[in-house]
C-alpha cells in the first residue's frame, strides 16, 4: 500500500518541541526529492545533488517552518499571524493560516514581490498590504505589531520556523546515509542557513551521520550584507526572495559558519541567471532566481578550486520556478523570447524543426 508522507511535524515528532497539546497544522510539507545532478557533477567533478524545495505545498521551503510556527501559534491560542515577506513567507503563512482557520496579515515591499507569490497570498485569503519600503522596513513593522497587538509573528525570528526548517537536513542524511561534505544554500535572512546547520548538528549528535557538512551560503552582489559585514540600506537584485539588507539571523549564521568551517560569497545577477538557465536546461529543475544562486555558488567555488573532486555536495534550491517565470523568457541581452508561430501544416512544422523526412 502506498505510504503517504505525513508532513514534517509527524515524521519528526521526536525531534521537535511538540506534544499531544499541539494541533498539527499540515499540508504535507517536506519529504522533498533529493535529485542527483549529473550535469553539475560533470561540470565540477563533485558528486552533486539538488534538494528541490519547490516541491513543497506552496512551492518553497517556507512551508517546513510555517507548519511548525502556525501549529505552535494555534497551540498558544493565536487567532491571527503576521509576517513580513519577500513573497514566499506570505504565501506559506496565508496557506497554513487558512488551513488552521485563523487570519494571516502579510506585509510586503511595494512592487517588489513576484506575481505568483502575490497571487498565492491573495488566493489563500490573507490580508496583504504593500508597504512603501523594503523588506527590512516590513519586518520592523511586523515585529512592532506583534509586540503591541494581538498577532503572532511567524517570521524566521520566531525560532519555531528554524525548528521546522531543520528537518530538511534530516531528510538529506536519511537519503545519502550520511551528511554531505558541503551543503550550499541561498541567504536572505539566513534563517535557512541556520536551520540546516542545526539539523546537521542534531543528526551528528544522534549518530545518524559521521560529520557536519561545510555550510556555504550565497547572497546576491547588490544585497550581500553578511559577505561584506555591513547593512545594505537599499538592497538590489533580481533575486527578489533574497533582497534583504539586514538579515534577521545574521549573528546565528556567523556562528554556524564558524562551527562548520563554512563560507559566505556574493554572486552577480548575471551569474545567477546563467545558473538558473543551466539548472533548468541541463538538469531539468525549474526554480526561481534566488534558488539558482546555490548553483551559481557551486560553479564559482569549483572554478576557484574550492570544491574537492569526488566530494558530495548538496544544493538546496529553495523555491519553484513557476512563482516568478518571467526570467525564463528573457535572453542574456534582455530581450523577451516569443515562440515561433507556424502554419497549421506538418511539413511546415517539420521544416521549422529542421527535420528531414524518413523514407519508408
Ligand atoms: C526565503 C527564501 C530564501 C532565503 O532564505 P532565508 O532563510 O531568508 O535566508 C531563499 N530563496 C527563497 C526562494 C526563499 O523563499
Between the CA of 186 and the centroid of ligand 1 the distance, in Å, is 7
Between the CA of 52 and the centroid of ligand 1 the distance, in Å, is 13
d(CA 141, CA 18): 29
> How many CB atoms within 10 Å of residue 231?
12
Which residue bears the cell 517588489?
112
Report which protein residue has its CA nearest ligand 1's atom 13. 319
Among 188, 219, 276, 295, the mutation site with the greatest number of ligand 1 atoms within 8 A of its Cβ is 188
Q: pLDDT tens digits for the chain (360 residues)?
A: 679 999 999 999 999 999 999 999 999 999 999 999 999 999 999 999 999 999 999 999 999 999 999 999 999 999 999 999 999 999 999 999 999 999 999 999 999 889 999 999 999 999 999 999 999 999 999 999 999 999 999 998 999 999 999 999 999 999 999 999 999 999 999 999 999 999 999 999 999 999 999 999 999 999 999 999 999 999 999 999 999 999 999 999 999 999 999 999 999 999 999 999 999 999 999 999 999 999 999 999 999 999 999 999 999 999 999 999 999 998 878 899 999 999 999 999 999 999 999 987
Count Cβ atoms within 10 A of the Cβ of residue 168 and give its class: 0-12 exposed, 13-18 middle, 19 or more buried.
buried
> How many CB atoms within 10 Å of residue 200?
28
4 is written with which cell numbers? Answer: 503517504
Residue 87 Cα: closest atom of ligand 1: 15
Residue 192 Cα: closest atom of ligand 1: 7
Pocket of ligand 1 (CB under 6 A): 60, 62, 88, 156, 186-193, 241-242, 288, 290-291, 318-319
Report which protein residue has its CA nearest ligand 1's atom 1. 241
Report which protein residue has its CA nearest ligand 1's atom 5. 188
Between the CA of 360 and the centroid of ligand 1 the distance, in Å, is 55
d(CA 68, CA 92): 11
Between the CA of 181 and the centroid of ligand 1 the distance, in Å, is 22
Report which protein residue has its CA nearest ligand 1's atom 14. 241
Distances (CA, A) of 360 to 349, 357: 20, 9
- Predicted structure pTM score: 0.96
Residue 189 Cα: closest atom of ligand 1: 8
Between the CA of 149 and the centroid of ligand 1 the distance, in Å, is 27
Count Cβ atoms within 10 A of the Cβ of residue 75 and give its class: 0-12 exposed, 13-18 middle, 19 or more buried.
middle
Output the CA torsion sign for 241, 247, 251, 252.
negative
Output the CA torsion sign for 263, 267, 271, 276.
positive
Q: What is the pLDDT of residue 333?
A: 83
Q: Which of 141, 85, 157, 145 is nearest to 118 (CA)?
A: 85
186 is written with which cell numbers? Answer: 541561498
Distances (CA, A) of 287 to 227, 248, 328, 330: 24, 24, 10, 15
Main-chain phi, psi angles of 161, to 5 degrees: -65, -50
Between the CA of 321 and the centroid of ligand 1 the distance, in Å, is 14
Provide CB contacts within 8 A for 42, sequence distance 6+: none
Amino acid at each position: 500500500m502506498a505510504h503517504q508522507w505525513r508532513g514534517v511535524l509527524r515524521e519528526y515528532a521526536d525531534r521537535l518541541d511538540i506534544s499531544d497539546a499541539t494541533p498539527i497544522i499540515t499540508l504535507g510539507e517536506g519529504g522533498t526529492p533529493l535529485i542527483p545532478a549529473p550535469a553539475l557533477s560533470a561540470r565540477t567533478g563533485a558528486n552533486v545533488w539538488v534538494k528541490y524545495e519547490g516541491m513543497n505545498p506552496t512551492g518553497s521551503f517556507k512551508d517546513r517552518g510555517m507548519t511548525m510556527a502556525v501549529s505552535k501559534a494555534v497551540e498558544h491560542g493565536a487567532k491571527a499571524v503576521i509576517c513580513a515577506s519577500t513573497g514566499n513567507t506570505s504565501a506559506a503563512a496565508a496557506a497554513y493560516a487558512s488551513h488552521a482557520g485563523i487570519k494571516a496579515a502579510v506585509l510586503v515591499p511595494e512592487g517588489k514581490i513576484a506575481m505568483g507569490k502575490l497571487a498565492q497570498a491573495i488566493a489563500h485569503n490573507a490580508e496583504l498590504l504593500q508597504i512603501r519600503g523594503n523588506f527590512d522596513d516590513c519586518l520592523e513593522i511586523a515585529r512592532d505589531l506583534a509586540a503591541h497587538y494581538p498577532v503572532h509573528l511567524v517570521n524566521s525570528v520566531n525560532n519555531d520556523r528554524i525548528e521546522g526548517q531543520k528537518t530538511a537536513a534530516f531528510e538529506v542524511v536519511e537519503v545519502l546515509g550520511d551528511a554531505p561534505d558541503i551543503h550550499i544554500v541561498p541567504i536572505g535572512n539566513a534563517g535557512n542557513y541556520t536551520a540546516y546547520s542545526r539539523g546537521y548538528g542534531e543528526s551528528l549528535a544522534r549518530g545518524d551521520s559521521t560529520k557536519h557538512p561545510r555550510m556555504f551560503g550565497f547572497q546576491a552582489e547588490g544585497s550581500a550584507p553578511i559577505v561584506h559585514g555591513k547593512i545594505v540600506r537599499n538592497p538590489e537584485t533580481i533575486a527578489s526572495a533574497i533582497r534583504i539588507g539586514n538579515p534577521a539571523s545574521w549573528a546565528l549564521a556567523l556562528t554556524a559558519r564558524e562551527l562548520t568551517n563554512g563560507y559566505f560569497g556574493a554572486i552577480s545577477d548575471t551569474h545567477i541567471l546563467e545558473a538558473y538557465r543551466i539548472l533548468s536546461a541541463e538538469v531539468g529543475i525549474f526554480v526561481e532566481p534566488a534558488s539558482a544562486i546555490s548553483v551559481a555558488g557551486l560553479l564559482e567555488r569549483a572554478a576557484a578550486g574550492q570544491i574537492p573532486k569526488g566530494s558530495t555536495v548538496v544544493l538546496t534550491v529553495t523555491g519553484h520556478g513557476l512563482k516568478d517565470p518571467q526570467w525564463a523568457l528573457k535572453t542574456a541581452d534582455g530581450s523577451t523570447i516569443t515562440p515561433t508561430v507556424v502554419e497549421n501544416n506538418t511539413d511546415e512544422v517539420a521544416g521549422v524543426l529542421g527535420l528531414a523526412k524518413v523514407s519508408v
